[in-house]
Structure formats: C-alpha cells, structure tokens
Structure 1
Amino acid sequence: MSELKENIVIKVSHDRLSATLLLKKPELIDTLTFEEIQEVLNENNITYGILDLNKIDWKTQLTEEQRIVIAKGKVPVNGEDGKLLVRQSTENELGEEEKSSFRDVRKIPMVEVDDLLAQVIPPTEGEAGIDVFKQPLRPRKGKPLPITAGQNVNFDKDQLSYFALAAGQLSIVNHVIQVHPLYEVNGDLSLKTGNIEFNGSVSIKGNVPSGYRVKAKGDIIVYGIVEGSFLSADGNITIREGIAGMDKAKIHAAGDIEVAYINQAEVTAGRDLKVKKSIMQSQCEAQENIFCPNGNIIGGSCSAGKIIEVKNLGNMANLKTVLSFGVSKKIIDRVNKLNKKRTELDNNKQKLRMLGDQLIEKKKAVGELPAKERIMLLKQRNMFEITTEQLQQVTDELSELQFEISNFAGLKLFVRGRAYENVELFFGKYKRLLNQEHVHFEACLDEKEIVIQSSPSK
C-alpha cells in the first residue's frame, strides 16, 4: 500500500447514508489521485453515490478542511399514514350574521341521506433508500387509519368512502364516524317534555331545571342554565350559561364538555373539560385535560389525565382545593380502600386456615368430630374458598389500578395567576400541599417529587 493510501481514512456515518474522506497529511494532497481514492473506496466496499470529483474542486476543499464527503446514499422516504378527508362541514360556531338572538351561539352539523361524509386516503408503503454500500434501507410503512362506520353510516370499499344512511348530525368521536338524528326542545324542560332519553343528539333552547334527566347517544347542547339535573352524552356536552348544581347536578360526556361556569356539581368528561369562567365547590374529572385559563378553581376537587390550566387556584379564605393528575382522586381513594380490604381478607384467610388446621388435627386425633364441629369445618371450607376468591378479585383490581397510577408522562399544572394556601396536589400517588401563595408557575412530577417552577405570566 502506498504512503498516500495509508494516509487516507474513510468514515461512514451511523445511518450509512454518507462516507467522508479524511487525509491525515495535508502535504500529500498534490500527489493524491482519483484512482488512489477509488482503490480505497473499493477496499471499503463503498460503491454507491460516489461523487464525481471532476466536477468539484476537491483538492482545495481537502486542503482547507482535511475532509470531503465522497459518497452519498439515497435517503428512504417513509410511507404516509392513512388520512380521513371529511367532506361535510363540522363547524359549530355561528357567525354574527347567522345569529337571530343572543342565545344562538352554536349550530349542529347536519347531513342528508346519501351525502358523502368522508373519504379515506390509504397509507403508502414508502420508498426504499440505498446506503453507500449499495444495500437497501427500508422505509417506515404508513399506518392505516383507525376509523369505522358507526350508526347510520355505510362504508363503500370500492370508493373508500363513507355515506350517510339517514339525515341527522355528523359526529366523529373516538375513531367512529356516525350520523345522529336530532331531538330539539324549543324552550325549558318542563312537565310537558318530561325526561329525555334519545338515541341521537339533543338540543335544548332553554334551561334544564332541577330533577330532570337527559341522556343522549350523540351530543347535548343546552342554551340556558343546568340546575340540579342529570345529563349524560356519548358525544360532547355544551352548556351555554353554566351549571348551578346545588350539589345535585351530575354531568357526564364521553367526549368534551364546554361550559361557562360550574358551581356545586359533579362533572366528568371523557376527553377535555373547557370552562370559560370558574369552577366552584365541584368535583370535576377529565380523562384528558381541564382548561380554565381565564377563571378560578375554588374548593372541591378536579382531576385530569394530563393537564390542568387555570388562572387562579383556591381563594383568600384558603378553602381546601384538591387537584389530581394522571388518575382521579376517586381511583386513589379506591386503591386505598382496596388495600384496606386486601389486608382484612388476608387476615381472615389466615384465621380460617388456622381454624381448619385445628379441626383437621382434632379429627385425626379422635377419629370423628362431633356434629357441631363437623358443621363448623364445612363452613370453614366454604368461607375459605369465598375469601380466597374475593382476595384474588381485589388483587387483580389493584394490579390494574396500580398500572394506571404509575403513568406520569405529560402531567402538568399551569397557573396563570395565583395559587393560595391549602391547595393539595396529587400526581398519581405523590402529594404536595401548598402552604404559601405562588404566582405564575408550572408544576409537574420530577424524580418522585412534585416540583414548582416559575413561568411567564400571560
């Protein structure tokens, strides 16, 4: 091997998409030839994407930088994921020109029979790349779209399209596309309307007084106030003028809940809870996030699967206010209750085992137990089996709940204004009590500790 070749080094990138030539002794540049470089490339099995050195001033670059990219591979093109092109309007906000009164703030997306609802764009395979060794580089294949046809919707496989089988409201929630017929109440719920249970969406132009029940497979929109009532929707719930619950209201949605304010109510959202004003003395739970950026959370308890955003937290009277992240306070309470139950069952099982052992030993000693003790042994065996089964059920449920509690990724509290004393934070099983006021901060779990960091005010 010549002195020149001994001083040529070829380095291949980690992804094998480029090879760089380095010259150990720059003073040898004048005598270096392309043929010698080609020999070194061949010895390193680099055969693809070699640059045409006749088209570039490679000796000047080597002189100045002591290196030059000598070969470039072909980058693989990853496949694109499947997409859903919605062909109908899902806009629910009314423009000012569309409003006929101050209560007209939302519209319900409607479709007719045989309307094209959406089209599926299939995923692509992608395009393979080639490394500098002329070996293929596999692309990532696109993922298929997880969407299915639900109620009143047909999927045409040839056209890869969804069509409406009925007139009603278009709803795309939890990867299911469906059409819900709409039931409208043009005023308050009253004895004339009674309770409502409807396999579609419900629109109430007035108020929902105390004592009424509204259940919908689609969405619920209330343009007035909801008092101490029960509302449940498999879709979303929108309440224009808020909830005055009087500790009787229970509101549940599988999707989002949007409301002006919440006062003394129990509210559960399968996704996000969005509150324009404040949450007061209520129990609120959102599987995803709670957004109350312009209002206060005062008293009660709120839990979110990921994020809680609020302006002010607690009040000057230091009313106890509890926030839970990752898992609801109900689940934490349930875990504590199950742990207590498991201890009780385990103790009972040990006592029953000891009793059974004593009776069996006595039977071995005397040959036959008296009638009373024979009955006692039968009861012992039955209770031992029941206790063992109950203990297993409690243990299985605890295992499932502990898995939920252990996931802390993405949990965060944003306070845009002030947090007062006596605010209690739970991140899973970890707890922190605020014993002084904090302003403009973020809180998260770091190394099994709830930490508070200042953030810019908005």
Structure 2
Amino acid sequence: MDLSQLIDVKVNDNRMNALIEFNNSYFSNVELDEEFSIAELITPSNIINFLHKNEIVYGIDEEAIHQFCEDILNSEGENLDSSQIEVARGIEAENGEDGYIDYHVNLNSKVDVDGETHKIDFKEMMQIPIVETDEPLLTFVAPTKGEPGINVYNKKVEAKPGKVVTIKAGENTKHTEKDQTIYATDSGQVTLTEKEIKVLPVYEVNKDLDLTIGNIEFNGSIVIKGDVPEGFSLNARGDITVKGIVEGAYLEAGGSVFIEEGVSSQGKGKIRATLDIKAGNINQGNLEAGRSIYVNQSILHSEVIAREFVSCYKGHIIGGSISSGQLIEANDIGNRMSSKTVLYLGENKKVVEKKSYIEERMKELVEQLKKLKTIGSKMEQLQELRELSSKERITLLRQKRSYEKAKLELSELNDEYSIYTQNDMNYNEENLPNVTVHGIIYPNVEVKYSKYAKVFNQEASKVSIVYENHDFSINPL
C-alpha cells in the first residue's frame, strides 16, 4: 500500500495551488488490521515526500499538512467530505503597471462624463493652452516590468510588463530621450490628437469678423475675440476659438472648436471639428464632431452628430436630432409642448438614413436583375430559333450591359452595407450606448438604435435608456 491509494493530489490550471484530498471510499473498505498500516502512512513527513515525488516542492504548508493528518486519524475515515485542503501555494506574478503621460499644460483634451465628473466647469473648458519656446509640454512615465512569480513546481512565472504609452512629437515640438519630455520649439497654441501633440501658430482677430477681414483659412489655430456673422467661413488646421456668437457661418477645424457664447444659425451654415466642439448653447445649428460635443446650456432645434458623447448636463435638448455613438445626456429632453425630438444611439442619423437607402436600393436592384435575366433568357431563346434583327441585337446588348452594371452596383452596396453591420457589433454590455436624463424626458421624444425605435408617450424622470437584447430598457438613475 502507498499514499497514492489514499490521497489524491490536485493542482489548478495555473499551477499556483496544490490540494490533497483523502480517498474516503478506500478507507471504508479496508479491514481493521489494515488501519494500523494506514495510520503509519498518514504522517506529515510521508505526505511531504509524496508531494515531492509529484514534483510539488515550493510553498508547502507544513502546518496545514499536520492538521490534515490529525483530522484523518481522529475521524477514522468517516465524514471526511470536506477534507480537501490546500497544501502548497505559489507566488503570483505581479504584472507591470502601464506607462502614462504627465501633462505640463492644461490641454483639457477630453472631458470625463462618468460618475461625479458630469459637472463640467465650462470656463475651464474654454481655456486655450498657449506656450512659449522651450516650455515642457508632457513627460512620458515608463511602464514597470512587474515582479515574476513562482509556481508550486518551483518554476518561474514571468510577469507581463506594462504597456508603453506614446504620442508623436508633431510640428514645433521636440522629444528629448534623456528626460523623456516633449518641449515646444516655438510659441503658439498646443493641439493634442490621439496620435500627436503639436504647437501651431495662432491667427487672432480682436473684434467681430467683418468684410475688412473676410473669410479665414489658416495653417494653424484661429481665435476670434468677437462674433462670426452669417455667411463667413473659418478653416483652421488646428483649433478655432470664438469668444462671441457664431451665426450662420461655416467653421471647420482639424482640432477642436470652442464657442464661448454659443451658436445661433437659423438653420444655416455648419460647424465641423475633427476632435471636440464646446459651446455655450446651440440654437438651430448644424454641428458634427469626430469625438464629442459639450454644451453648457441648451440645444434647440438643431442637428448634432458626435462619434462619442453629446453632453448637455445642465440644460435641455428640444427639437431637432441628436446623434451619438456612446452617450447623450441632458437635464431635460423634449418639452411640455411635445416638440418632436429624435435621439440616435450607436449610429448617427446620416448612417441610419444611408443604411435605409442601401436596403431600398438593394431591393430595387434584385428586382431589376430578375427582370433583366428574364429578358435575356427570352432573347437567347429567340436567337436559337432565328437570327435576331438589328433592333433585337441592340436590345440584347443593352440587357447584358444593364445586367452587369446592376450586378456590380449590388455587389458594391453589399460590401458597404456589411461594413455598417460589422460596426453594429462593436458594443458589449459594458459600453452599450445610452441616453441619460437627469431631469425629465417628455412625450414625443423618439430614441432610435439602428432600425429600432421607441417613442415616449408620457413623461419619465431621472432615467437611463439603453438598447439591449433587441429591446429598449428604461432604468432609474
């Protein structure tokens, strides 16, 4: 008899824990005279040797083994269902911490809209970082390597090093290896994107934009310290800052757009930013941001599109359409007059309309191909019976060209539609797009997700609206 008949050894998948368990079924079948030999076998030293034979040599818990032996002998093999104990434990590897960036200027590039940080300091958001030559912009903090571990087989377990965070030193900046810091090489405005940091020259207008200045296209950032009237256009490779009101004007920025007082466009003009748009309020505006849109007061009867967030935390959204990939939030949405207000989640309004057009066009093309195929078959049958007339030959040639053209268009539309379908699957339970209402959502507000929609017929307060499991769920905040 040996211990392998009495004791089972189990090692978990990561080899960090070893357990032993007494074989109750074997004990219950032994004769009385065999119990003495069993008692001699079940000793701490024998069990430790048994573990060693199974190559378990690190982190052995001798105290636990002593207790195990006492429990086995005192119980005489009865009621030992819970006798599985841990007898060895390795040391888990401690993975390294990711590197990060320590910013030396207040870039305010993104605003966290989770939890308590919903309360946005709008004055802080409108501060534009201006730097001088040789001023430090940011420092890279290196990731840590982590500490290796040891498993119960006394084998080294490597730790995963932290990830390196990098941002490219763009125009008018330099990166020094010695202190891992990026410095400005010229004075100007700091612009940060997901890939690089750069310092761009600034074009300033110290009054309202007027005909003496005209439209502005600048290879840097633009600052207007007054209003931008209807009909004017601003185009900047960096940011655009307007201290006053933007009326029906056209603004396009390679960075972000900051409008302190707000937008009053009467449905004219358009404002586009590669990054964020931040405004005091929006009235009958048309805005599109590659990242997020933050509004201090209200969004009224406007078309607003953002890839990530639309935040109007303190104010209300009334009328128009709001599209956001991740979050739409406001104090109130809609009004007591039941103004039609449409909220698009996940896919923006343009994408929804484009998909709808593709679906309808694909149906038309399928029907067109069926008709063309029928015409072609009839013409080919006729050709087998007799020679086609010149008019018939032209008809057959047109049919073949039309068929190939429709077939190609259908294939291209299928490819385009599949891209939209793949984008539909990019959400999971942790990042489902939602509408957050801190006050009241009123009747005649419609929430859309892809081809699905929910129209509110009565008021609801302090709710979150999420589309999941093929339905809209309304949850209290």
Q: Could you say which TM-score interval applies, normalised by the shorter chain?
A: 0.7 to 0.9
Establish whether residue 171 from structure 1 lines up as the match of residue 191 from structure 2.
yes
CA distance in structure 1 between the aligned counterparts of 2:164 and 2:355, rounded to whole angstroms: 38
Alignment of 1:366-377 (within 5 A): 366-367=386-387, 369-377=388-396
CA distance in structure 1 between the aligned counterparts of 2:125 and 2:406, rounded to whole angstroms: 57
Does the CA contact (< 8 Å) of 1:58 and 1:68 recur in 2?
Answer: no
Aligned length: 440
Establish whether residue 73 from structure 1 lines up as the match of residue 90 from structure 2.
yes
| Deviation string, structure 1 residues 323-356 (Cα, Å, up to 9, x no partner) | 1111112211111111111111222222222222
Question: SS at the partner of 1:191?
Answer: coil
Question: SS at the partner of 1:248?
Answer: coil
Length-normalised TM-score, structure 2: 0.83
Aligned to 2:472: 450
Aligned to 1:351: 371
CA distance in structure 2 between the aligned counterparts of 1:24 and 1:349, rounded to whole angstroms: 73
Establish whether residue 380 from structure 1 lines up as the match of residue 379 from structure 2.
no
Establish whether residue 394 from structure 1 lines up as the match of residue 413 from structure 2.
yes
Aligned to 1:273: 293
Aligned to 2:460: 438
Question: SS at the partner of 1:389?
Answer: helix
| Deviation string, structure 1 residues 148-183 (Cα, Å, up to 9, x no partner) | 233333445676543434322222212221121111
Which residue of the other structure, out of 32, 46, 50, is the alignment partner of 1:36? 46
Does the CA contact (< 8 Å) of 2:10 and 2:18 recur in 1?
Answer: yes
CA distance in structure 1 between the aligned counterparts of 2:199 and 2:228, rounded to whole angstroms: 25
Aligned to 1:417: 439
Query: Which amino acid counterpart does residue 12 of structure 1 have in structure 2?
Result: V
Unaligned runs of 5+ in 1: 93-102
Alignment of 1:279-428 (within 5 A): 279-367=299-387, 369-409=388-428, 410=431, 411-428=433-450
1:185 to partner: Cα distance: 1.0
1:89 to partner: Cα distance: 4.6
Q: Structure 1 residues 120, 366: closer, same or farther in 2, change over 3 A?
A: same
Q: Structure 1 residues 382, 151: closer, same or farther in 2, change over 3 A?
A: farther
1:105 to partner: Cα distance: 8.5
Aligned to 1:100: none
Length-normalised TM-score, structure 1: 0.86
Does the CA contact (< 8 Å) of 1:408 and 1:427 recur in 2?
Answer: no
Which residue of the other structure, out of 228, 240, 244, is the alignment partner of 2:260? 240
Question: SS at the partner of 1:384?
Answer: helix
Aligned to 2:232: 212
1:395 to partner: Cα distance: 1.3
Q: Structure 1 residues 119, 245: closer, same or farther in 2, change over 3 A?
A: same
Query: Which amino acid counterpart does residue 15 of structure 1 have in structure 2?
Result: N
Q: Structure 1 residues 227, 40: closer, same or farther in 2, change over 3 A?
A: same
Q: Structure 1 residues 166, 48: closer, same or farther in 2, change over 3 A?
A: same
Aligned to 1:195: 215
Give percent identity, aligned residues only: 35
Unaligned runs of 5+ in 2: 25-34, 75-81, 110-122
Which residue of the other structure, out of 85, 88, 113, is the alignment partner of 2:102? 85
Q: Structure 1 residues 104, 293: closer, same or farther in 2, change over 3 A?
A: closer
CA distance in structure 2 between the aligned counterparts of 1:143 and 1:133, rounded to whole angstroms: 29
CA distance in structure 2 between the aligned counterparts of 1:141 and 1:374, rounded to whole angstroms: 72
CA distance in structure 1 between the aligned counterparts of 2:137 and 2:12, rounded to whole angstroms: 48
Aligned to 2:30: none
1:11 to partner: Cα distance: 4.4
1:10 to partner: Cα distance: 4.3
| Deviation string, structure 1 residues 238-268 (Cα, Å, up to 9, x no partner) | 1111111101131111111111111111111
Question: SS at the partner of 1:346?
Answer: helix
Which residue of the other structure, out of 40, 55, 63, is the alignment partner of 1:45? 55
Does the CA contact (< 8 Å) of 2:107 and 2:192 recur in 1?
Answer: no
Q: Structure 1 residues 66, 375: closer, same or farther in 2, change over 3 A?
A: closer
CA distance in structure 1 between the aligned counterparts of 2:393 and 2:6, rounded to whole angstroms: 95
Aligned to 2:451: 429
| Deviation string, structure 1 residues 300-329 (Cα, Å, up to 9, x no partner) | 111111111111111111111111111112
Alignment of 1:92-171 (within 5 A): 106-155=126-175, 160-171=180-191
CA distance in structure 1 between the aligned counterparts of 2:182 and 2:385, rounded to whole angstroms: 78
Q: Which moved more, 1:442-451 or 1:157-166?
A: 157-166
CA distance in structure 2 between the aligned counterparts of 1:131 and 1:57, rounded to whole angstroms: 19
Does the CA contact (< 8 Å) of 2:272 and 2:289 recur in 1?
Answer: yes
1:22 to partner: Cα distance: 5.6
Establish whether residue 17 from structure 1 lines up as the match of residue 20 from structure 2.
no
| Deviation string, structure 1 residues 271-300 (Cα, Å, up to 9, x no partner) | 121111111111111111111121111111
Does the CA contact (< 8 Å) of 1:61 and 1:67 recur in 2?
Answer: no
